[in-house]
Structure 1
């Protein structure tokens, strides 16, 4: 069922009349109302009679027109959407998007026109602005000065969000890079840590009403990346553009578009439970591929020396050891990190790649994106920042058989930086190369838009577990947060199923990992990326139980279905994922106490779980056959240890 209404409401004396457009989702439960009361456009979102987004501002200001005041709705046009498509590298392989698109045409007091396009499915609202050419077929381009777009939420709402940091901060002035800490269940009226708002995605809990996830998708070279402002009472959060000092001050913070043209989609996912949040595919549903893949790109697993062995490991002998490790584990890739051009030598890389290929392993090579936008010193530099340099480098990569690159240290969210991401991806596709980004922004529909795109870091990732005991203690909190926010809207290269007990090459010194082996193995199923790092070390072949090694050898990285089972952000998460005909249920517990769960196990036979003695001390993991009694009942009672995890398969 869908319903679209355009009404004229007579208001109180001396007030302007208001026109209202209303659109519902195909199942009739999600309602979006748009009106132009007092010359200001706004929208509100209601789910099953509960208002999830209060009336919130719409509109934008351009260099030629103010589309925030003196507005009136002219007409609407509804179009049913029923689209099926397939993807290889996200949480689901076969997508079916059913929605109603409603175009709401508005004009300001000067009779300048624009359109707000809404696409409403059963749990998702996506909307964007479309600006036509105006009188006499002009202007033919526009600078977007600011957006009025707001998200006003009920007062009782709590937040699960990550602060935006300022430009030219952090190590070697490389931030912002989406690597700040999420806070759970915080009040909306608490100012962000750096006074600059919050990075997408942003998760909100509205108590008994349910959950709201806000993000954006469809950001390409044609716009900048945005974020949310700090909360303002009576107004909510608003769309904020990049800081002018990002990208070392180069490029405009305000995006420019051709006319007619559109902005990216703002997305709102709503649910009474967290199920629609975790399972949403809206980042991909409303965008299209921008080019065809040049080859059939392969998913897989990769080894990575740098996470534990660090800079000195980027040498010939150590990379041979990690190529051999990848071959032993049956993994498809080995990532060679920064400074390979000086510490191994560019002239020796063809031989290293040939050795890897003879072992059935393909190399991925690390690159610095710079450029001129921060002080990160690692080389290779100056290979990815111009078309001429990229073409030369990628031709060489193809010649020596390299299949992927990881490009690091970007400069922010300006349109100029978004163009760099797109240029790297497009040029890499011409040479059959897949791309992972680090020190970077959030992917915004890129898995569908760019077929050789793999994943992005854009998260406080695994390297921080190595760097400090504090972050090691935070690992379980972070990885039970991201399925509900960061990883819900895009693939995430968190960077490693970490199997060393200690954060050192000898596996005896420095600080300890604070998660169990069961937790780490389960992260391979919870964290989603089509090419996944499994950070086994050569010593793990001797010091890990054989059943753990055997299980990690079979770890899938692509999923045909994903289902939310249970969880709460920052506390615990249980997901079911299907790879081909095989289903897996995986869970993580970040709490200080054991977590008791009852799972529906119809069709499952085995359990990998942490083992604990009577005092609760972890003694290892085991893979056991599920008892016949549990199989007959179809229910399994399981205890998940603190900082622990499990996999049912």
Structure 2
């Protein structure tokens, strides 16, 4: 339920301002945004607690109907307040109170065409978008370029992931948001010609942290990313025209009046506002109602460790039995099921799973025309007729969700494909996970049956790459501050085999501890989690670890930053009802001794899962001091989980 109030609305004409400057502050006064015109260009700047965190940064769009980057003038501005309370079960916090002050600035260009920029400023967040009216008889336009910029102080360091070059990688499916991060890189080193994916994290000489992203991308616009660092700024950049094999516009075709997606800026003196932000969801609305109540939960998944050879009836029965033994709600049956099991036998398999109280997700290839991905089912999700025919069968067979893979692009037509799949799936009562996909941008709230996206160097790369195995803890320490801070992240983790293959005796050795793996089940937030357990883990993994995974939730009522530094270590607390889970990982080469402040557990007896110096995982009971402090040690490549 939402309650929205717009208060204190009034209009101020720019003629009253000799310097052509407007400003708006957050409700608590810590965050201030200023807008000005300088030599015909609109700029904005941001101050936090009196210090400049974004210097004068340009605003503007270029469309085929008019240029809104030069010869700009103030026309008017409007201020207001927004107060909203909403509930959302699929993000890091189930109840959110959003309060913001708004500033809506109207500008005109040399042709006297108007454009507005709406800013919403809450205590640690800024969201803004462009609002385009109809210009006379002009009712449509194409936005070809955006000049929105972000100018940081020169001492800033960055935590960015490069945008992948289009039509590269496996079966020419890139970009799929699966590049790594470089931590604390100076601005001068971030000059990638392809730019950088959202979100991007910035450290302003340890005086402030800023997280940049975007939200509210639907079929009505293209997704965007950050440019490389050029001429002292980053700008919003639209997709490389070579995506989707060069087909389709890289700009956005919109009807008028129309709006762009929101650009978001989260600012904090510490990393706490970054980890806890809900701004990607605060400014978007649901686009349709759920056709039914969707059930979140955990699942088993044969492909991640046993790979393609497991796509047979007998192995899937073993994984259904694994899910049942672990009290998991789901099994994900991956690529090639249509060919190697078949539709008729799949109905039998679904019936068997239901007899064990396990529901089924099935994998699909999204592709039909844009890359060379060949795994089947193919040509089932890319057109409306094929998709609806397939979804009719899926509903009749009792399937509960789909994992749709291999999108590889951010153009508007691909955003439309995402939305069409989600909307049609809702009609048939199907949840959707996207893989080989873009960043979800507010989709948990916009689409009721959306339950996660990959958009990260995920667990499959632990199987395929020694480099990723060596960096597993490093990446895990980054995600709560960057990728997972703005959207659900379907990582597909918790791998308890010592070797990441079916034999589990040699080969791809796992370099992190069991406690690390348990910690990621909490540290990585996604409402439906497919875990990488294998049937042999029922007998070769300590019983207390399995008992933990039988109970760990996938949905949360509250998320709290505890401690950490991206690329080094991270500790996050999450609550479901009255039960807290505190999870941490250590990416450094030596043991990390931490004194945690856990006021939510003050005076309570807790259970801790941790590692000994020899990396053996153990569990013990401890009492937290009355002041809520608890000293712990996390081993290198290790983890810790604390529950009450």
What 5-or-longer segments of structure 2 have no aligned partner? Answer: 1-6
Q: Where does residue 221 of structure 2 map in the other structure? A: 223
Q: Tell me which residue corresponds to 1:602.
A: 602
User: Which residue does the alignment assign to 2:99?
Assistant: 98
Q: Does structure 2 retain, via aligned residues, the 8 Å contact 1:4–1:21?
A: no
In 2, distance between residues paired with 1:633 and 1:404? Answer: 45
Q: Is the 8 A contact 2:14 2:76 kept in 1?
A: no
Tell me the residue number matched to 1:153. 152
From 425, 435, 439, the counterpart of 1:438: 435
Q: 1:202 matched to which residue of 2?
A: 200
Root-mean-square deviation (CA), in Å? 1.7
How big is the shift at 1:602?
A: 1.1
Q: Does 1:636 align with 2:630?
A: yes
Matches within 5 A, 1:500-519: 500-519=497-516
Contact 2:14 2:75 in 1 (8 A): no
| 2:208 pairs with 1:214 | no
Deviations 1:503-552 (A, max 9, x none): 11121111211110000000000000000122111000000011111111
Equivalences for residues 308-457 of structure 1 within 5 A: 308-457=305-454
Separation in 1, partners of 2:346, 2:603: 47
Q: Say whether residues 1:460 and 2:457 are aligned partners.
A: yes
Q: What is the match of residue 185 of structure 1?
A: 184
The 2-side partners of 1:608 and 1:307 are apart by 28
Aligned with 1:253 (options 235, 250, 253): 250
Q: How far does residue 603 in structure 1 lie from its aligned partner after superposition?
A: 5.3
Deviates more, 1:447-456 or 1:71-80: 71-80
Q: Give the counterpart of 1:622 among 598, 601, 618.
A: 618
Aligned residues: 634
SS at match of 1:36: strand
Counterpart Cα distance in 1 of 2:14 and 2:443: 40
Cα distance in 1 for partners of 2:15, 2:138 equals: 34
The Cα offsets for residues 398-418 of structure 1, whole Å up to 9 and x where unpaired, read as 101100000000030000000
Q: In structure 2, the residue corresponding to 1:321 is in which secondary structure?
A: helix
Question: Does residue 1:26 correspond to 2:27, yes or no?
Answer: yes
2:165 equivalent to 1:171:
no
After superposition, where does 1:44-83 map in structure 2 within 5 Å? 44-83=45-84
State the 1:181 CA deviation.
Answer: 1.0
Q: Which of 467, 471, 475 pairs up with 1:470? A: 467
Asked if 1 retains the 8 angstrom alpha-carbon contact of 2:92 and 2:555, the reply is yes
Contact 1:62 1:146 in 2 (8 A): yes
Distance change in 2, residues 1:4/1:487 (3 Å): farther
TM-score relative to the length of structure 2: 0.96
Q: Relative to structure 1, is the Cα distance of residues 358 and 192 closer, same or farther in structure 2, using a 3 angstrom cutoff?
A: farther
Asked if 1:232 corresponds to 2:230, the answer is: yes
**Aligned partners of 1:411, 1:307: CA distance in 2, in Å?**
21
Is the contact between residue 2 and residue 24 of structure 1 (CA under 8 Å) also seen in structure 2? no
Partner Cα separation in structure 1 for residue 277 and residue 627 of structure 2: 31
Verify the 8 A CA contact 1:605 1:648 in the aligned structure 2: no
CA positional deviation for 1:648? 1.0
2-side partners of 1:332 and 1:367: how far apart? 20
Deviations 1:406-458 (A, max 9, x none): 00000300000000000000000001100000001000000000000000000
Matched, 1:491 2:492: no
* Partner SS for 1:67: coil
Distance change in 2, residues 1:201/1:296 (3 Å): same
> Does the CA contact (< 8 Å) of 1:19 and 1:36 recur in 2?
yes
For the residues of structure 2 that align with 1:322 and 1:232, how far apart are their CA atoms? 51
Q: Could you state the TM-score of these two structures normalised by the residue count of structure 1? A: 0.95
Alpha-carbon offset, residue 609 of structure 1 = 3.0
1:302 — aligned with what? 299
Closer, same or farther in 2 for the Cα pair 1:439/1:282, shift >3 Å?
A: same
8 Å contact kept, 1:462–1:494: yes
Retained in 1: the 8 A contact 2:608–2:619? yes
On the 8 A contact 1:2/1:23 being kept in 2, the answer is no
How has the CA–CA distance of structure 1 residues 285 and 256 changed in structure 2, closer, same or farther, with 3 Å as cutoff?
same
In structure 1, runs of 5+ residues without a counterpart are: 12-16
Q: Secondary structure at the match of 2:171?
A: helix
Q: Is the CA contact 1:78–1:100 (under 8 Å) kept in the aligned structure 2?
A: yes
Q: Please give the alpha-carbon distance, in whole angstroms, between the structure 2 residues aligned to 1:86 and 1:266.
A: 22
Deviation at 1:8, TM superposition (A): 6.7
Alpha-carbon contact 1:87-1:94 (below 8 Å) kept:
yes
In 2: Cα distance, 1:5 partner to 1:512 partner: 64
Deviations 1:590-637 (A, max 9, x none): 11111111123415422333332xxx322x22221104xx54564321
Relative to 1, partners in 2 of residues 1:202 and 1:5: Cα closer, same or farther, differing over 3 Å? farther
Query: For the structure 1 residues 266 and 55, does the alpha-carbon distance in structure 2 shift closer, same or farther, using more than 3 Å as the test?
Result: same
> 2:189 aligns to what SS in structure 1?
coil
In 2, the alpha carbon distance for the partners of 1:633 and 1:44 equals: 40
Secondary structure of the residue aligned to 2:160 is strand
